[in-house]
Amino acid sequence: MIEREGDNVMRWEKSCGAVIYRESNNEYKFLIISNNSDGHWGFPKGHVEEGENEKETAAREVYEETGLQVEFIEGFRIRDEYSLKENVMKEVIFFLSKANSSEVNIQLSEVRDYKWVNLEEANKLIEYMSSKKTLVQACEFLKNR
């Protein structure tokens, strides 16, 4: 999407993804991935394709990047917004989802590595504050449901 404000043209990109969890020994484990483009740890996500809704995009991207089929947890939707570079804004929608398996098959063209980690371990690996905030919100949501 492109917005015009005077002579400035702002391009918007939209991605959707998921905070994926499973339960192990009475503890939540979260799937984080390191992508090939910058090596940062975060959550599976990707661009919305024409005709897809947000959850369809998230499910497709999760499956493409991790090989996991996931079950979305109703009531959790987080929106993040940031600037990628000058005149480019990115909107990312994250859902919370439960993995039906712990077996991950990463998409080598996009994903460098993956880990199932608890909240504390994830916070040590994830660099972006917005991703840390999203994870904390997901934990709170799980505890309060």
pLDDT tens-digit profile, the chain (145 residues): 655 555 578 888 999 999 999 998 899 999 999 998 888 999 999 999 999 999 999 999 999 999 999 999 999 999 999 887 888 899 999 999 999 899 999 999 999 999 999 999 999 999 999 999 999 999 999 999 8
SS3 79: strand
For residue 124, give every residue at least 6 positions away whose Cβ sits within 8 Å of its Cβ, in sequence order, or none: none
Q: Is 113 helix (H, G, I), strand (E, B) or coil?
A: strand
pTM of the model: 0.90
Classify 143 as helix, strand or coil: helix
Q: Where are the domains of the chain?
A: 2-144
- Vertex 125: Cα angle to 76 and 29 (nearest 5): 50
| CATH class of the structural domain 2-144 | alpha beta
